[in-house]
Amino acid sequence: MEEKVRQIREQAIKVIHESQSLASLDEARIRYLGKKSALLELLKSLGTLPSEERPKIGSLVNEAKEAIEQALRSRKIVLMGIEQKQRIAAEKIDVTLPGKGIRRGSSHPLTQVMAEAKDIFLRLGFEIAEGPEIETEYYNFDGLNILPHHPSRDMWSTFFIKDDVLLRTHTSPVQIRVMEKHKPPLAIIAPGRVYRCDSDATHSPVFHQLEGFLVDNKVTFGDLKGVLTDFLRQMFGQEKPVRFRPSYFPFTEPSAEVDVACVLCNGKGCRLCKETGWLEILGSGMIDPNVFKAVGYDAEKVSGFAFGMGIDRIAMLKYGIDNIRLLYENDLRFLEQF
């Protein structure tokens, strides 16, 4: 009897160890521990044994049962590990294949640069105003102190719709429109499309400007320098040298051209900056008393500065684009780079 129990135990453990799948392991479990298993039969026949042998054989059978269960458990863990490994191996994919889903689009580089510039001024406290792209001659020129038949009028080659209606050549008309309607203090930026009769590598008949002005009772030329220096440093880098140099615009006086150190050579002189080391970025100045007069302000009581910049030019400098046409050709190979 003892021998039989030992044999069953050994055989069961051997079979369990040799089983290669969870299914065959389950078969082994039924065979050796199931209702019809030899071990269970033995246990059932315990009553037929002499009473003094019963405890001994009983405990032997129980020991064998526990040993078999233990073997089943550990084999199951091993087999589950193997099966998981096989499944993982079967599920292996090429992780370098392309992803699913639609290709994301991108915003136009001009939109990106304009957004950046707007954001800087909005944080400074400016607000956005807009005006029509087709303007009257008054708002585009006369109101801005750009007199007819003055050489300065030639600074803007103009598309005309009718005699006194034109495509705005700059965003400056917004200055007049806003000041006519509102009293100071004013801090305004005016982004938008502008038009000039020019077309070459650096001129497009359509381009974008960001205009801005600040009017209050004691705005100084020093404030103009402060605000624009802050803007340019945020736009081009905190360390970039900035310089203000006298210039002429009919609607500002004194007027200043604002340069930053060349983005390519950082001031040493190269082809991009025409060997000067500087790039012209902004036109600016203190608003001319004649402009204040045109909108009914008292130039003795308020002062202010105005500025304007070409967003296309800034985008070209920022991204190293050498031909402005690329911005309007809309070649997707170009646009997808941004």
Partner 1 sequence: MRVPIEWLKELVSFRAGPDQLAQLLTMAGLETVLLPDDILDVDVLPNRADCWSILGVAREVSAITKFKLKNIHYKTKESAKKINGSVKVEVRDKELCPRYMVRVIENVKVGESPEWLKKKLERSGLRSINNVVDVTNYLLHEMGQPLHAFDAALVKDQFIIVRRANPEEKITTLDGKEQLLTPDVLVIADPEKVIAIGGVMGGANSEVNSETRTIILESAFFNPISIHKTSKLLKLRTEASIRFDYGVDWDGVETGLDRAAALIAELGRGDVLKGKLDAIGKSRKPRCLELRPGRANQLLGTEIATGDMISILKRLGFTVKRGDSGKLKVEVPPYRLMDIEREIDLIEEIARIWGYNRIEATMPFAGFAGRNRNLEDIFRSKLVDILTGEGLTEVETYSMLGPKDFEQTGISQEVTVKIANPLTVEESLMRPELLPGLLKVAAYNKNRQRDNIFVFEIGRTFAPAHDKLPKERWHVAGLLTGSPFMSALDKGEADYFYLKGVVENMFQGIGCEPPKISEADNFLLQPGRGAVIEGIGIFGALHPDIQRNYEFTRPVFFFEFDAEALFELAAANKKSYRPLPRFPSVTRDVSMFLPPDLENQVIISTIYKTGGSLVESAFPFDKYKDSAAYRIVYRHPDRTLTEEEINIKQQEIVNALVNKLSVRLRS
Contacts (CB under 8 A) with partner 1, residues 56-85: none
Among 275, 293, 301, 323, which residue interacts with partner 1 (rule: CB under 8 A)?
275
275 is in an annotated binding site: no
* Interface stretch with partner 1, choices 7-15, 18-26, 152-160, 260-268 (CB under 8 A): 152-160
- 96 interacts with partner 1 by CB under 8 A: no
Closest CA to 71 of 16, 144, 150, 11: 16
Question: With left for phi above 0 and alpha for psi between -120 and 50, is residue 161 left, alpha or beta?
Answer: alpha
- 335 interacts with partner 1 by CB under 8 A: yes
Specify burial of residue 21 (Cβ count, 10 A radius: 0-12, 13-18, 19+).
Answer: exposed
- 181 interacts with partner 1 by CB under 8 A: no
Residue 57 or 288 with smaller CB distance to partner 1: 288
- 319 interacts with partner 1 by CB under 8 A: no
* Interface stretch with partner 1, choices 19-27, 51-59, 85-93, 255-263 (CB under 8 A): 255-263
# of chain residues touching partner 1 (CB under 8 A): 95
Strands 252-261 and 278-287: antiparallel
- Looking at residue 46, the DSSP 8-state letter turns out to be G
* Interface stretch with partner 1, choices 41-49, 68-76, 77-85, 157-165 (CB under 8 A): 157-165
Site for partner 1 in 280-299 (CB under 8 A): 286, 288-289
* Interface stretch with partner 1, choices 16-24, 65-73, 79-87, 180-188 (CB under 8 A): 180-188
- 4 interacts with partner 1 by CB under 8 A: no
Among 11, 111, 234, 266, which residue interacts with partner 1 (rule: CB under 8 A)?
111
- 137 interacts with partner 1 by CB under 8 A: no
Q: In DSSP terms, which residues pair with 307 in a beta bridge?
A: 212, 284
- 132 interacts with partner 1 by CB under 8 A: yes
CB 286 within 8 A of CB 253: yes
CB 201 within 8 A of CB 324: yes
Please report, for residues 54, 129, 297, the alpha-carbon distance to residue 181 in angstroms, rounded to integers and kept in the order given. 112, 12, 11
- 227 interacts with partner 1 by CB under 8 A: yes
- 151 interacts with partner 1 by CB under 8 A: yes
Q: d(Cα 247, Cα 254) in Å, to the nearest integer?
A: 8
Q: d(Cα 338, Cα 335) in Å, to the nearest integer?
A: 6
Q: d(Cα 255, Cα 157) in Å, to the nearest integer?
A: 21
- 185 interacts with partner 1 by CB under 8 A: yes
Residue 8 or 212 with smaller CB distance to partner 1: 212
CB 242 within 8 A of CB 233: yes
| Residues flagged as binding site for Mg(2+) | 253
